Amino acid sequence: MSIRYKLRIERTITIAALILIIPVCLFVLNGIKRNMRIVGKSEQKLSEQQGETQISPDAAVTTTTIETKHITRINEPTCKAAAVYTVDNKQFNYKDNIDAKVAPASLTKLLTAAVALKNVKPETVFTVGEEQWLVQPNSSLSNIEVGNTLTLKTLITGMLMASGNDAAYAVAVNVAREMNPSKEMSSEEAVDYFCGLMNDMAAEIGMTNSKFVNPDGWDDEEQYTTVSDLVKLAEYVLGVPEIMEITATYQTTVQFESGENATWINSNLLLDEYSDYYCEEAIGMKTGTTPNAGNCLIAAFKKSGITYITVVSGCDYDTDRYELTLKFFNSL
C-alpha cells in the first residue's frame, strides 16, 4: 500500500469520526444550555414567590407611633399632686408636683394585693384571726369576722372593692405566716414581715421614693409615696389579671369557704352606672381617703385602644377627685 493511499484512508476515517462526534457534542451542549435556562427560570420564579412572603433585610419596619397629647394645666378642682400617663408609649400627658411626698391612703392596698398574689396562690384558704384587733377604729371595712375562712382572692376582693382595712390585715398576716410555716409569728411580727415584702416589691418596680409600714394605708408619718411612684405601681398592677378583674367590678356577691355570704360595692364611682361620674372607658384601680392624704384616686382607662393611667392626690372633697380625673380623661 502506497503512502499516499494510506493517508487518504486515514483522512477519510477522521472526517467520518468528526461527522459522528460533532452532532453528539452539539446535542449535549444544547441540553446543558436548556437545563441552565430551566434552572434560571425556576430560581427567578422562586425568588419572586419568596418576595411575596418575605421581607427584605433592608426593608423598613412600619411601626405605629402614639402621639403624646399634652394636657394644659387644670386649676379646678384643686389637688396636691396629679399625673396623666400613657401606658403604651410610657409618656406623661400631665404632671403636677408628681415628686412631692404624699400619704398613700388606701391606694396602698394595690401594693398589698400585688405582694400577696406574687407569693401565694389566689385559691389558698385563710382563716380570719386575732389580727383584726390591729384594725384602726373608724376604718372602712369589708365586715369579715374572726373565724371566717375564705380564699386569698376573696379577701383581696373585699380589700379592694369595699376598701376593707380588716381584709388588708387578714391578707398581710396570713400571707406572712403562709410563707413562714415553720416559724411562729405574732400578728405584729407578721405585719412587719409583710411590710418588708411591700418595700422590696416597691423597690423592684421603681418606686424609689416610697415607704410602707402598714398594709391598709392608715396615716403614719413613716409611710409615704409620690404620684410618680403611684404611676409605677398602677402600671405594674395593669399586668396582674386578678387585681384588674376585681378593681373593674362595681358590685359582687361572694360566698366564704365557711359558708357566709357578703356583697361588696366598689368605692370607685367611675364604675357606678347611676353615678354622675360614671365612665364607660374606666377599667379599674383604687380610691383612697385619710386626713393626711385627702381624697385620692388612681384610675385606668382604655380609650381608642390606648391605655391611660390618672392619679390625683390631696383633693379637698370626695367628688373633686372624680371631677378632676374626668377632666383629664376628656382632655385626651
| Order of strands, sheet of 282-290, starting from the edge strand that comes earlier in the sequence | 91-96, 81-86, 306-315, 294-303, 282-290
pLDDT of residue 165: 98
| Residue 127 vs residues 152, 166, 177, 250, 255: alpha-carbon distances, Å | 10, 12, 11, 26, 14
**Residue 168 and residue 139 in contact, taking contact as beta carbons nearer than 8 Å:** no
Residue at 159: amino acid letter: M
The x, y and z cell numbers of residue 171, run together, are 391578707
Q: Which residues pair with 81 in a beta bridge?
A: 313
Contacts of 304 (CB under 8 A, 6+ apart): none
Q: Is the pLDDT reported for residue 75 higher than 60? A: yes
Instruction: Select the more confidently predicted residue: 48 or 252.
Output: 252
pLDDT of residue 266: 98
pLDDT of residue 241: 98
**Residue 146 and residue 236 in contact, taking contact as beta carbons nearer than 8 Å:** no
Q: Output DSSP code: residue 73.
A: P
Contacts of 177 (CB under 8 A, 6+ apart): 185, 190
Grade residue 32 by pLDDT with cuts at 50, 70 and 90: very low
What would the pLDDT profile of 208-239 be if each residue is shown by its tens digit? 999 999 999 999 999 999 999 999 999 999 99
Residue at 325: amino acid letter: T
Alpha-carbon span 95 to 70, nearest angstrom:
9
Q: Is the pLDDT reported for residue 63 higher than 50? A: no
CA pseudo-torsion sign 207, 213, 214, 218 = negative
Q: Please, what is the end-to-end C-alpha distance for the chain in angstroms?
A: 114
pLDDT of residue 18: 46
**Residue 94 and residue 84 in contact, taking contact as beta carbons nearer than 8 Å:** yes
Beta strands (DSSP E) in the chain are 81-86, 91-96, 125-127, 149-151, 251-255, 261-265, 282-290, 294-303, 306-315
How many CB atoms are closer than 10 A to CB 160? 30
- Looking up cell 385619710 gives 290
What would the pLDDT profile of 126-150 be if each residue is shown by its tens digit? 999 999 999 999 999 999 999 999 9
What would the pLDDT profile of 9-23 be if each residue is shown by its tens digit? 455 444 444 444 544
Grade residue 67 by pLDDT with cuts at 50, 70 and 90: confident
Q: How is 231-298 classified by DSSP, letter by letter?
A: HHHHHHHTT-HHHHHHHT-SEEEEE-TTS-EEEEE-S-GGG-TTSTT--TTEEEEEEEEETTTEEEEE
Q: Using only the alpha carbons of the chain, give its radius of gyration.
A: 37
Q: Output DSSP code: residue 66.
A: P
For the chain, what is the mean pLDDT? 87
What would the pLDDT profile of 175-217 be if each residue is shown by its tens digit? 999 999 999 999 999 999 999 999 999 999 999 999 999 999 9
What would the pLDDT profile of 97-116 be if each residue is shown by its tens digit? 999 999 999 999 999 999 99
Grade residue 51 by pLDDT with cuts at 50, 70 and 90: very low
Flag whether the pTM goes above 0.85: no
The answer to which of 43-57, 152-166, 184-198 has the lowest mean pLDDT is 43-57
Q: Is the pLDDT reported for residue 256 higher than 70? A: yes
- Over residues 59-80, the mean pLDDT reads 79
